């Protein structure tokens, strides 16, 4: 083809919209698959799946019959991409995966800020540990969950420790114990670390705990009751009392359910409530015949979406990367319920049922979940309205052009420069965005420990360096709030200008917040924290520092933001300090892993004794070579 012919062909080729889609349809197969609609900049607008790609995509090429949302999507389409699959089930699973990865603008999006916690009974030690676990399930052992929140896990763990006396300490603590810890004293651990229970008896406790968490509650309680009777008849009243306390703990776990779960062995319950263009999906988790908590989700969706379609898209994304239970109950029938059940059955290797009950106890449980969804959405809408008013008043007080959509608040926390941490919290129209919070471990040695200005400079420099690399405009703040006075404001202003931003003309607005200053009789200035000092002093570039009037909603809003940043910074600092206090110097020696560390502690009794030992004495430990012994000696003696 000549160059002129190629140019003519390009001019005839459709540039976008329905004409472009119709052009793609002529070349599509009548097979299952997934399609992607791309915008002007190559951004993904929508991901969909089809039993027959040709038929499904051809619908978008038709002139009418579409909602306003679909019409907008079609008009913005500039290209399409396709993946052909063997079955519609494969297409459904791929669609859910792509939606979670690409987050297309026109899809219903499941916003999950964390993985759900589980209970783990580990299998990598002679005396298994019971512990809360979140994330990839790589550690060998038995996992039970999911639980709706860390609080639900912690409450269950506390009770299970009383009922089964399993250890919760780390392996390093276990190996270094020479006498029982406090948990044994309060009857929540059987103290296997010091040999107060045999391997066989501890294994029996582990077996009972696994049976209970797997739903065999009655058998475990009957066995314990029988043991208690036998101990009582043998006049071993102390053992009988211990068994009685364990039975009480088990009864508490089974009795403290918010919704009756007598008929629910293993199920997830989903209920959706939509109102005012928003939707809430309430999820209840039932495992081992117990209610393991609930969680409310607020998926992003178009206002025109029907509740059944929202729930349909949500379920596919929710179980992408999660194991589904045997039964999934819903309050409205998803259009693709049968296909979803087939896909989840294929992935789980066992039958999974998606069911919308119409009567009986299961329907009562679904209705209770729907009531919770309705109440959660009402609370969220009320909070959003209040939040919007606060943002509007804040914009007015700070003379901003419009209410900020993303506010970032910064604070530092340390004790005389040690364990220094910087913190950033984020707030917007939906309240605090806790999945956007960030903490910064202060790394620089360019300033003296405890230099607040130096720490703030490092935190903001790292934040703006990352901001320049991010392409997502929603991640850019509209307003920065610094906890501090005029000095912190100047530091922040310098960092922003170095990064190419100038508050007031380009980039986010900037303020710093501090307590008003006062002078004592000696002329020394300090923060006025007396009862009469109401409000905060606001510093902003190009404007005289000012105080907001008492009882001003903007003042309360700023204080709430500042206090949340302060809370988060102190929490991060305490966690870092706690980790530093419990750190063992042996962990920093190259070549000393868990096994050698255990052998050294068994031989010498403590890290202090290891530090005092000669190289020859270290070499006497099993698994420690002459070279390693010399390395350990040099580590403690500065060579």
pLDDT in tens, 388-439: 888 999 999 888 888 999 999 999 888 776 788 899 999 988 888 888 899 9
Task: Examine residue 58 and state whether it is found in any structural domain, yes or no.
Answer: yes
**Helices 553-582 and 360-397, packing angle to 10 deg:** 110
The set of long-range contacts for 308-311, using a CB threshold of 8 Å and a minimum separation of 24, is: 308/332, 308/333, 308/334, 308/335, 309/108, 309/334, 309/335, 310/108, 310/272, 310/274, 310/279, 310/281, 311/270, 311/272, 311/281
Position 219 scores a pLDDT of 63
Same domain, 301 and 353: yes
Same domain, 598 and 612: yes
CATH number at residue 56: 3.40.1440.10
Same domain, 160 and 241: yes
DSSP state of 194: G
User: How deeply is 531 buried, as exposed, middle or buried, from its count of CB atoms within 10 A (0-12, 13-18, 19+)?
Assistant: exposed
Task: Examine residue 385 and state whether it is found in any structural domain, yes or no.
Answer: no
Contacts for 249 with CB less than 8 Å, ≥ 6 apart: 159, 160, 162, 163
Same domain, 134 and 93: no
Residue closest to 164 by CA, chosen among 130, 122, 120? 130
Q: Which residues of 185-201 are buried (b: 16+ CB within 10 A; e: fewer)?
A: eeebbbbbbeeebeeee
Same domain, 574 and 429: yes
Task: Examine residue 61 and state whether it is found in any structural domain, yes or no.
Answer: yes
313-340 pLDDT, tens digit per residue, is 899 888 887 888 889 999 999 998 999 9
Position 524 scores a pLDDT of 52
Please list the ranges in the chain whose pLDDT falls under 70. Answer: 1-15, 110-114, 148, 215-222, 224, 239, 242-243, 245-264, 417, 470-474, 504-506, 517-535, 581-585, 587, 638-639
Q: CA–CA distance from 243 to each of 26, 253, 358, 458 (Å)? A: 74, 16, 43, 57
Cis peptide before 85 (omega within 30 of 0): no
CATH number at residue 371: 3.30.420.340
Same domain, 46 and 133: no
Whole-number Å distance between alpha carbons of 56 and 50? 6
Q: Please provide the DSSP assignment of 513-541 as one string.
A: EEPPEEE-TTS-EEE--STT--S-EEEET
Task: Examine residue 569 and state whether it is found in any structural domain, yes or no.
Answer: yes
Q: Which two tokens stand for residue 413?
A: 């926390």
Same domain, 589 and 569: no
Whole-prediction pTM: 0.57
Domain range enclosing 53 = 16-102
Structural domain total, the chain: 5
Secondary-structure breakdown of the chain: helix, strand, coil percentages, each rounded to the nearest 5:
45, 20, 35
C-beta neighbour count of 100 within 10 angstroms: 18
Same domain, 327 and 367: yes
Residue closest to 481 by CA, chosen among 406, 543, 567? 406
Is the Cβ–Cβ distance between 535 and 548 less than 8 Å? Answer: yes
Whole-number Å distance between alpha carbons of 595 and 602? 11
The total number of residues written for the chain in this structure: 639
At which of 46, 72, 102 does a domain end?
102
Same domain, 168 and 229: yes
Task: Examine residue 163 and state whether it is found in any structural domain, yes or no.
Answer: yes
At which of 37, 69, 102 does a domain end?
102
Task: Examine residue 78 and state whether it is found in any structural domain, yes or no.
Answer: yes
Position 584 scores a pLDDT of 66
Same domain, 490 and 610: no
Same domain, 63 and 151: no
CATH number at residue 601: 1.10.150.20
Same domain, 124 and 200: yes
At which of 230, 255, 280 does a domain end?
255
Task: Examine residue 7 and state whether it is found in any structural domain, yes or no.
Answer: no
Q: Please provide the DSSP assignment of 261-329 as one string.
A: -TT-SEEEEEEEEEETTEEEEEEEEEETTEEEEEEEE--B--TT--HHHHHHHHHHHHTTTS---SEEE
Task: Examine residue 142 and state whether it is found in any structural domain, yes or no.
Answer: yes
Q: CA–CA distance from 270 to each of 243, 267, 295, 359, 366 (Å)? A: 38, 10, 10, 16, 7
């Amino acid at each position: 083809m000549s160059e002129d012919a190629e140019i003519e062909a390009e001019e005839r080729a459709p540039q976008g919209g329905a004409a472009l889609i119709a052009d793609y349809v002529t070349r599509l197969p009548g097979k299952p698959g997934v399609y992607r609609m791309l915008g002007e900049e190559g951004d993904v607008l929508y991901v969909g799946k089809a039993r027959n790609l040709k038929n499904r995509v051809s619908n978008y090429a038709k002139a009418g019959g579409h909602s306003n949302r679909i019409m907008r999507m079609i008009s913005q389409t500039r290209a399409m991409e396709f993946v052909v699959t063997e079955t519609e089930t494969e297409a459904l699973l791929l669609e859910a995966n792509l939606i979670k990865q690409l987050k297309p603008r026109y899809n219903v999006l499941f916003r999950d800020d964390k993985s759900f916690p589980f209970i783990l009974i580990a299998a990598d030690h002679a005396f298994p540990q019971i512990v809360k676990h979140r994330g990839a399930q790589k550690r060998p052992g038995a996992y039970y969950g999911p639980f709706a929140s860390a609080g639900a896990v912690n409450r269950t763990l506390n009770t299970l420790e009383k009922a089964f006396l399993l250890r919760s300490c780390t392996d390093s603590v276990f190996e270094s114990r020479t006498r029982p810890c406090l948990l044994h004293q309060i009857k929540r651990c059987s103290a296997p670390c010091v040999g107060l229970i045999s391997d066989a008896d501890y294994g029996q406790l582990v077996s009972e705990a696994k049976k209970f968490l797997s739903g065999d509650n009655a058998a475990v309680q009957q066995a314990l009751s029988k043991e208690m009777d036998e101990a009582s008849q043998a006049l071993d009243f102390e053992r009988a009392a211990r068994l009685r306390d364990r039975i009480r703990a088990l009864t508490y776990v089974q009795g403290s359910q918010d919704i009756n779960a007598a008929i629910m062995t293993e199920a997830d319950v989903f209920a959706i409530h939509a109102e005012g263009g928003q939707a809430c999906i309430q999820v209840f988790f039932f495992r081992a015949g117990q209610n393991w908590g609930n969680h409310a989700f607020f998926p992003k969706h178009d206002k025109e979406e029907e509740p059944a379609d929202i729930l349909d898209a949500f379920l596919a994304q929710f179980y992408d990367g999660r194991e589904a239970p045997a039964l999934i109950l819903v309050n409205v029938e998803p259009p693709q319920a049968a296909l979803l059940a087939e896909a989840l059955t294929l992935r789980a290797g066992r039958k999974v049922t998606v069911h919308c009950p119409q009567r009986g106890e299961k329907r009562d449980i679904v209705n209770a979940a729907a009531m919770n969804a309705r109440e959660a959405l009402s609370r969220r809408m009320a909070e959003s309205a209040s939040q919007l008013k606060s943002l509007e008043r804040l914009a007015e007080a700070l003379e901003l052009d419009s209410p900020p959509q993303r506010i970032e608040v910064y604070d530092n926390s340390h004790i005389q420069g040690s364990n220094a941490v910087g913190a950033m919290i984020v707030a917007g129209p939906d309240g605090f965005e806790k999945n956007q919070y960030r903490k910064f471990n202060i790394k620089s040695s360019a300033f003296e420990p405890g230099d607040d200005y130096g720490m703030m400079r490092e935190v903001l420099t790292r934040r703006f360096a990352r901001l320049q690399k991010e392409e997502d405009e929603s991640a850019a703040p509209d307003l920065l709030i610094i906890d501090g006075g005029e000095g912190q404001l100047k530091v922040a202003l310098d960092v922003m200008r170095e990064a190419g931003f100038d508050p007031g003309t380009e980039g986010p607005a900037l303020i710093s917040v501090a307590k008003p200053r006062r002078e004592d009789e000696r002329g020394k200035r300090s923060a006025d924290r007396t009862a009469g000092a109401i409000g905060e002093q606001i510093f902003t570039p190009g404007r005289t520092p000012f105080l907001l009037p008492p009882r001003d909603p903007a003042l309360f809003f700023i204080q709430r933001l500042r206090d949340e940043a302060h809370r988060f910074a102190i929490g991060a600092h305490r966690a870092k300090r706690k980790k530093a206090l419990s750190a063992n110097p042996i962990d920093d020696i190259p070549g000393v892993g868990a096994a050698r560390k255990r052998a050294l502690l068994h031989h010498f009794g403590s890290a202090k004794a290891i530090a005092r030992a000669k190289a020859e004495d270290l070499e006497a430990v099993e698994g420690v070579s002459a070279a390693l012994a010399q390395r350990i000696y040099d580590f403690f003696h500065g060579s």
